[in-house]
Chain A
């Protein structure tokens, strides 16, 4: 609108002169009101940090208006407003909590606003005792999701990758997680907060197992080696928390061809939801034909597996439904000192697992997490002429709420129910027995998180559990706190009581027992600077009420009791660095463990055969730009493990020689969508010994003969070709390797 238009419009309006005058006065008034500042209020003051340091660049304004300004170099601000009455003044600055003050504008002068540091910011202390995180968005990540698939020794198994972290013991012939002197059953695995009842594919003696679930479904892994949250129970030593991906990248099809089988996967993505599935078929027959191992395979290992995930985003939440089915079978004869013709073993396993979870916000401050899982696992096992068939049906339901009182105070509480129905049938030509148990555990937990400042935070919680089978109630207090000792370092301590029911192999024969117990004491020091992390942790664990029995194996008529006890103590060191050497990322873990326990059929307290004093892992990954390749190395050293030599007095009194294995891998990016992957485990062919089997009867000289327990094969080769087909041709399966 230019001047001429205004003139014209006024002319055309042809208003009476006095109206015109009123209009002019009104307009003038409005104009001058905002320009000459009478009836204007001045808002002024200074913005500082808690300690008085002025903050430059803070944004100060009246809520919902245009009136405001940026603080100057001295933290001072001064602006005018035409607003009157009670208004809300806001002051905000990066990494500080937003300040709000409601008052009459006339009161808002010469203010001193001290902003509180935002405790959600990166340099806030983190409770780190016992917890090893593998995620993208945490500064304290010791492992990144990708590491699971690019660590040379892991062969794509997330458990294999975790075995390079401190606190774990190398038990090469088993493959499961052994944490700080605990046996494998003392670690529980959760997917999206919901329990997994049968996480490992069953195998037999001296053949390591693998985790069932494909690693590329997860983008966050938290591995706690002690002192974990009250939210998790039924684990004496450790919990492993796996979080599935919220939203896949894009539509794609993935094809894998490997020396041991093949797989196909597909992901479809829509506006709010996505569906992924993948199937794989593994057959070791061709591999074993070329590289026979020490076993005599009648039917080499064969497995068919399928997984699917559906995700749906709602306005304020996300629903995930996950289902996995797998079936595996094999039959073999293993060398055995007590059977000249060997020990015959066959196994068929069917496993179905489904898990549904919902996480969402009810409003600004209430968050809900709920879900459930159901497992059906069936094993048909044949050992010589014995047939053992078992079926487990288990379910877990959980409901958890979290109330956020402020950035600094959060309370969570919830309840959960575990149900297990286990039936086993044993038969041979003489007997046929059917037995099992039906167990329910109800639990409730609550936890309070308080962050006092960026320097100091505590977590206090408690968990109560009731076992239907034993009619026993247990109460476990847990607490941890962390204190920042410097810009990059912090100390953290944790204490907790943990209960766990005996495993299925005991419960199926006896239900007059009670829960086993541990107490954890942890002291942790952590130093994190850019792309470097150092962790040192000392711990002590006291075991009590461990299950004991009086036969060689748990049996129908063994005498069971909770008379066992023990301890584990030691320290763990971890160093990761991807800064010092260009294009090289490496980490080193060392664990020292001192443990003895009286449990199972031990006559005296002794160091179990799954525990050893020293464990060292070194992993390195070297990216060679010119070759489009990543070359990885992984070395594991562990000192000898105990075994009983019946030719000498004592129990578990001897030690094997130490274990060494160097693995290498090479991933070559042929193009954006095609990857060739080669790996060799134990490239040096070190002759490792996992233990000894002694004859049950002495020979003519009164000597018990023995046989070394060697791995089925000293080395393992793997070659795979991975091809991703997607619309934009940039994705690849490097993260699947």
Chain B
């Protein structure tokens, strides 16, 4: 009997102590995202964001899903709605964390989405701002692979446009891949990964 009770306690304890609601929610959201249900994931992140009003991660992921989706969105009006939504949640994330390279990179990506939306109109306006943001992210965290990759990718685009050598930026991408290899997440549910994408970028830009 005593044994049974102990086992019961053990099961119960694992259930209640090991995972907070926050952890359950975040894990579920990542599962949905991986299962190619980004909007359900975004909705869940949004619910977590309003329940946990000091944690920057949930609003960061809402913004990230909206930014990434807008890159592939064909409907221009939806694209703008997504970028506006991303801006709102990015602002929330910004208010909840300081000097965070991940947030700065996401802001650069959001502005890049505007350039994709209408290059003629936003290209000239946002290009300097995007370059400035990557520079800022790099100053905050020069060893963050996503910062190194984002910056290198942007620089390569600009250099190609002006027919300038891109070798130095290819080295940066290689460095990013190396950094991805030894990356340890900075905290639970912190952004991580992107190494495969970096390989792809390297192949597209640096290998003939």
Residue on A nearest B32 in the bound complex, by CB: A70
* A686: Cβ under 8 A from any B Cβ: no
Query: Which residues of A have CB within 8 Å of B120?
Result: 578, 585
Query: Among A389-397, A427-435, A724-732, which stretch is in contact with chain B?
Result: A724-732
B162:A671 contact, CB within 8 angstroms: yes
Given A66-B51, A136-B121, A250-B128, also A59-B43 (CB < 8 A): yes
Which residue of A31, A144, A734 contacts B15 across the interface (Cβ within 8 Å)? A31
**Cα distance A685–B125 in the bound complex, in angstroms:** 35
Interface residues on A, range: 35 or more
Query: Which residues of A have CB within 8 Å of B164?
Result: 671
Query: Among B79-87, B140-148, B179-187, which stretch is in contact with chain A?
Result: B79-87
B21:A59 contact, CB within 8 angstroms: no
Query: Among B129-137, B169-177, B188-196, B197-205, which stretch is in contact with chain A?
Result: B129-137
Residue on B nearest A27 in the bound complex, by CB: B12
**Cα distance A27–B12 in the bound complex, in angstroms:** 7
Query: B52 to nearest A CB, angstroms?
Result: 9
**Cα distance A24–B5 in the bound complex, in angstroms:** 8
Residue on A nearest B39 in the bound complex, by CB: A57
Query: A628 to nearest B CB, angstroms?
Result: 7
A728:B39 contact, CB within 8 angstroms: no
Query: Which residues of B have CB within 8 Å of A700?
Result: none
Query: Which residues of A have CB within 8 Å of B39?
Result: 57, 70
- B-contact 0/1 string along A99-118, CB 8 Å cutoff: 00000000000000000000
B77:A123 contact, CB within 8 angstroms: yes
Query: A144 to nearest B CB, angstroms?
Result: 6
* A340: Cβ under 8 A from any B Cβ: no
B81:A249 contact, CB within 8 angstroms: no
Counting chain B CB atoms within 10 Å of each CB, the highest count among A6, A69, A123, A585 belongs to A6
* B46: Cβ under 8 A from any A Cβ: yes
* A335: Cβ under 8 A from any B Cβ: no
B162:A144 contact, CB within 8 angstroms: no
- A-contact 0/1 string along B153-176, CB 8 Å cutoff: 000001000101000000000000
B-facing residues in A143-171 (Cβ within 8 Å): 144-146
Query: Which residues of A have CB within 8 Å of B17?
Result: 1
Query: Which residues of A have CB within 8 Å of B131?
Result: 728, 730-731
B128:A7 contact, CB within 8 angstroms: no
A3:B14 contact, CB within 8 angstroms: yes
Which residue of B5, B13, B80 contacts A122 across the interface (Cβ within 8 Å)? B80
- B-contact 0/1 string along A252-263, CB 8 Å cutoff: 000000000000
B128:A10 contact, CB within 8 angstroms: no
A-facing residues in B34-89 (Cβ within 8 Å): 39-40, 43-44, 46-48, 50-51, 76-78, 80-82, 85
Residue on A nearest B154 in the bound complex, by CB: A730
**Cα distance A64–B51 in the bound complex, in angstroms:** 4
Query: Which residues of B have CB within 8 Å of A145?
Result: 125
A136:B124 contact, CB within 8 angstroms: no
B47:A728 contact, CB within 8 angstroms: no
* B127: Cβ under 8 A from any A Cβ: yes
**Cα distance A143–B40 in the bound complex, in angstroms:** 39
* A121: Cβ under 8 A from any B Cβ: yes
B128:A27 contact, CB within 8 angstroms: no
Residue on A nearest B159 in the bound complex, by CB: A672
B18:A1 contact, CB within 8 angstroms: yes
Query: Which residues of A have CB within 8 Å of B43?
Result: 57, 59, 68-70
Query: A674 to nearest B CB, angstroms?
Result: 10
A-facing residues in B1-42 (Cβ within 8 Å): 5-10, 12-18, 21, 25, 39-40
**Cα distance A315–B10 in the bound complex, in angstroms:** 50
Which residue of B5, B47, B122 contacts A66 across the interface (Cβ within 8 Å)? B47
A24:B8 contact, CB within 8 angstroms: yes
Counting chain A CB atoms within 10 Å of each CB, the highest count among B16, B78, B125 belongs to B125
Query: Which residues of B have CB within 8 Å of A250?
Result: 128-129, 132
Counting chain A CB atoms within 10 Å of each CB, the highest count among B14, B17, B124, B158 belongs to B124
* A669: Cβ under 8 A from any B Cβ: yes
**Cα distance A68–B28 in the bound complex, in angstroms:** 13
B77:A672 contact, CB within 8 angstroms: no
**Cα distance A10–B25 in the bound complex, in angstroms:** 29
Residue on B nearest A58 in the bound complex, by CB: B43
B128:A726 contact, CB within 8 angstroms: yes
* A65: Cβ under 8 A from any B Cβ: yes
* A624: Cβ under 8 A from any B Cβ: no
* A94: Cβ under 8 A from any B Cβ: yes
Residue on B nearest A269 in the bound complex, by CB: B132
Query: B168 to nearest A CB, angstroms?
Result: 13
Residue on A nearest B121 in the bound complex, by CB: A144
**Cα distance A63–B158 in the bound complex, in angstroms:** 45
Residue on B nearest A672 in the bound complex, by CB: B162
* A648: Cβ under 8 A from any B Cβ: no
Query: Which residues of B have CB within 8 Å of A549?
Result: none
Query: B16 to nearest A CB, angstroms?
Result: 6
B6:A10 contact, CB within 8 angstroms: yes
A7:B162 contact, CB within 8 angstroms: no
Query: Which residues of B have CB within 8 Å of A69?
Result: 43
* A735: Cβ under 8 A from any B Cβ: yes
Which residue of A31, A63, A728 contacts B16 across the interface (Cβ within 8 Å)? A31
* A530: Cβ under 8 A from any B Cβ: yes
A30:B16 contact, CB within 8 angstroms: yes
Query: Which residues of B have CB within 8 Å of A697?
Result: none
Which residue of B50, B81, B128 contacts A64 across the interface (Cβ within 8 Å)? B50
B-facing residues in A555-590 (Cβ within 8 Å): 578, 585
A728:B50 contact, CB within 8 angstroms: no
Query: B96 to nearest A CB, angstroms?
Result: 16
* A592: Cβ under 8 A from any B Cβ: no
Which residue of B5, B50, B125 contacts A136 across the interface (Cβ within 8 Å)? B125
Query: B123 to nearest A CB, angstroms?
Result: 10
Counting chain A CB atoms within 10 Å of each CB, the highest count among B43, B120, B124, B125 belongs to B43
* A289: Cβ under 8 A from any B Cβ: no
Query: B114 to nearest A CB, angstroms?
Result: 9
Which residue of A2, A63, A94, A735 contacts B50 across the interface (Cβ within 8 Å)? A63
A122:B51 contact, CB within 8 angstroms: no
Query: Which residues of B have CB within 8 Å of A121?
Result: 77, 81
Query: A222 to nearest B CB, angstroms?
Result: 17
Cβ-closest 9 pairs across A and B: A59-B43, A249-B128, A731-B128, A3-B10, A730-B131, A728-B131, A70-B40, A70-B43, A61-B47
Q: A28-B8, A136-B122 are in contact. List 17 more A-B contacts (CB 8 A).
A: A2-B14, A3-B10, A24-B9, A27-B9, A30-B16, A63-B50, A64-B51, A66-B51, A94-B85, A144-B121, A146-B121, A146-B124, A250-B128, A250-B132, A531-B118, A669-B162, A731-B131
17 A-B pairs whose Cβ atoms sit less than 8 Å apart in the complex = A6-B6, A20-B5, A27-B16, A30-B16, A66-B47, A66-B51, A68-B44, A70-B40, A122-B77, A122-B80, A249-B128, A249-B129, A250-B128, A628-B162, A672-B162, A730-B127, A734-B124
Give the interface of A toward B (CB within 8 A).
1-3, 6-7, 10, 20, 23-24, 27-28, 30-31, 57, 59, 61, 63-66, 68-70, 92, 94-95, 121-123, 136, 144-146, 219, 249-250, 530-531, 578, 585, 628, 669, 671-672, 726-728, 730-731, 734-735
